[in-house]
Amino acid sequence: MTVALSGKDIAGRLEEKFPGSIEESGPDSLVVKSDSLLAVAGYLKDTGGLEFNFLNYITAVDYYSYFEVVYQMTSLKHNHSIVMKTRCYGRENPSVPSVISLWQAADFQEREIYDLMGIKFEGHPNLKRIFLWEGFQGHPLRKDYL
Amino acid sequence: MTTTEMMTFKTEPFILNFGPVHPSTHGVYRMRATLDGEVIIDIEPVVGYLHRGIEKLAEERTYSGFIPLTDRLDYISPMSNNLGYCLAVEKLAGIKVPERGDYLRVIIAELQRLANHCIAVGSFLNDCGAYYTPFMYAFRERERIIDLFDMVCGQRLTYNYMRIGGVSQDIPDEFLPALQKLVKRMPRWVDEYDFLLMQNEILLARTKGVGILPKETAISCGITGPVARASGVNWDLRKNDPYSIYDRFEFDIPTGETGDCYDRYRVRMEEMRQSLRIIEQAMKDIPAGPVRADVPHLIRPPKGEAYARLEAPKGELGYYLVSDNSIAPYRCHIRPTSLINLTALREMVKGWKVADLIAIFGSIDITMGEVDR
């Protein structure tokens, strides 16, 4: 059985290592500030005992006042998982760092989020629309898109 | 002209467009291949021809109203898609499925795996050049399974059989005897493929050592299902994170060693045998009782989010749902197995010939409905 690790516990460890990187934490998930996302994700992936080597999925949710990007990672070695989130405020030009350097699985999924939700992933080598055609106006999964 | 003079001929990469409408692209997949003669230097996948905005449509439907749309994702295995979505809503709303419902779900999901692998193996062999004979053999078997599905839900392709809290209706009396017959016959059919193909010289030459996917790449690219297991990743959600009642059955997880096309083919064949084992056990233990929990038509799950996943025939299929306590999901994200399994294709085909590209692509087994959603 995959154990869902408590976001609070992991957030405590992260706070020691990267002070000020955690925005919020709960029993199911932790919210990381987007500027320390890459460092935190790298730490979660490479630290012994955690080793989240498998990225299940990335998705994004539009909460009007901010976008939330959700990452779920699993460690195939220890069979535990964690949900990490990050928020980007402002609807004009939201962006978060790309995690493609850590997990290649992010490639198409980040492009999908960029296409449908309009969030830019900095550092993605080929960030362009994936499903919709070039020149399409708007991002359909946003709540204000009709 | 001397040989030396010929060697100094100017050459340049050639761009070849595959698809989107091409029999070997399994739907409307398109790739731009850059070739050096017949050798592939790079490919660029182009998808989106079947994008219907299903995730957006989910936000405008009730929780139960979305189930028929899940059939249209991976239309080769709609039952697994139904089940994945229902598991997610049940997790979100805290609904418990009655025992018989769970057993029926397992039987149907495993039958779906058999049907999917029939197509996967059949069309893969088609791509390898065994033109349509094995495909028709595989379709013969799949037809028997489709007949069973027809029996339980009256549909042959888009079943819409799973419901939140169970399944839509109990099985008819003739279902279990018919299933018994299938389970008895099927191993012989699987052996028949083995007999015809496993030692076939041409198939071995086309698949052994071709399109190797190393274990580390598979994990980094998020590859799941038979493709990952063929590369030696011993990961199957039915064992590693059992959902429904999979912890009650005995079965093995077949894995490969090299991660080539042949291993992917072999793992699928072995998985068919293991699925039959599960069905046999489930058939024996199936209890009487209701098949569906008492769930109202309109449910309002409490505020929150849930991710439920299952081992679909192609790999990890998951649904991420966010509820705002209304009758429709606030957000519904589908983890697309087929799309993520394509991530590694580029690495896998570099350096191989065009004909191998078709074989490697076929061995991944994707459905465009799920890639594009």
| B372 touching A (Cβ < 8 Å) | yes
pLDDT at residue B244, as a whole number: 86
Average pLDDT over residues B203-231: 89
Chain A partners of B346 at a C-beta cutoff of 8 Å?
Answer: none
- At B24, the pLDDT band (50, 70, 90 cuts) reads low
Average pLDDT over residues B190-198: 81
pLDDT at residue B1, as a whole number: 59
pLDDT at residue B4, as a whole number: 67
Interchain proximity B48–A131, CB inside 8 Å = yes
Measured in angstroms, the CA of A143 and the nearest CA of chain B are apart by 9
CA-nearest residue to A72 within chain B is B307
Interchain proximity A131–B342, CB inside 8 Å = no
Q: Which of A70, A132, A133 sits opposite B320 (nearest CB)?
A: A70
For the entire predicted model, the pTM comes to 0.88
CA-nearest residue to B49 within chain A is A131
Of the two residues B334 and A25, the one the predictor is more confident about is B334
Average pLDDT over residues B78-106: 91
Using a 10 angstrom Cβ sphere, with 0-12 exposed, 13-18 middle and 19 or more buried, the burial of residue A146 is: exposed
pLDDT at residue B2, as a whole number: 67
Chain B partners of A70 at a C-beta cutoff of 8 Å?
Answer: 320
pLDDT at residue B357, as a whole number: 87
pLDDT at residue A71, as a whole number: 92
pLDDT at residue B320, as a whole number: 93
Tell me the pLDDT tens digit for each residue of B341-360. Answer: 988 888 888 888 888 888 88
Interchain proximity A70–B241, CB inside 8 Å = no
3-state SS assignment for residue A96 = strand
Interchain proximity B55–A83, CB inside 8 Å = no
Is the bond preceding B68 in cis, omega lying within 30 degrees of 0? Answer: no
Angle A87-A48-A15 from CA coordinates, rounded to 5°:
40
Tell me the pLDDT tens digit for each residue of B294-337. Answer: 888 888 899 989 999 999 999 899 999 999 988 999 999 999 99
pLDDT at residue B5, as a whole number: 65
Q: Does B154 have pLDDT greater than 70?
A: yes
Measured in angstroms, the CA of A103 and the nearest CA of chain B are apart by 5
Interchain proximity A130–B48, CB inside 8 Å = yes
Q: Which of A105, A109, A141 sits opposite B56 (nearest CB)?
A: A141
Q: Which of A56, A116, A133 sits opposite B335 (nearest CB)?
A: A56
Average pLDDT over residues B170-185: 90
Q: Does B130 have pLDDT greater than 80?
A: no
Complex prediction ipTM: 0.90
Measured in angstroms, the CA of B317 and the nearest CA of chain A are apart by 10
Average pLDDT over residues B243-250: 88
Interchain proximity B56–A140, CB inside 8 Å = yes
pLDDT at residue B7, as a whole number: 67
| Cβ-Cβ contacts under 8 Å for B110 (sequence gap 6 or more) | B275, B276, B278, B279, B282
Interchain proximity B340–A130, CB inside 8 Å = no
Q: Which of residues 24-63 of B touch A (CB under 8 A)?
A: 47-48, 51, 53, 55-56
Tell me the pLDDT tens digit for each residue of A39-64. Answer: 888 888 888 888 888 999 999 999 98
pLDDT at residue A47, as a whole number: 82
- For residue B76, the 8-state DSSP code is T
User: What domains does chain A contain, in order, with CATH numbers?
Assistant: 3-122 (3.30.460.80)
Q: Which of B55, B320, B322 sits opposite A141 (nearest CB)?
A: B55
Q: Which of A62, A76, A107 sits opposite B343 (nearest CB)?
A: A107
Q: How far is residue A69's CA from residue A84's CA, in Å, rounded to a whole number?
A: 8
Q: How far is residue A40's CA from residue B221's CA, in Å, rounded to a whole number?
A: 20
pLDDT at residue B85, as a whole number: 92
Closest CA to A11 of A3, A2, A28: A28
Chain A partners of B344 at a C-beta cutoff of 8 Å?
Answer: 104
Q: Does B25 have pLDDT greater than 70?
A: no
DSSP secondary structure string for all residues of A5-74:
--HHHHHHHHHHHSTT-EEEE-SSEEEE-GGGHHHHHHHHHHSTTT---EEEEEEEEE-SSEEEEEEEEE
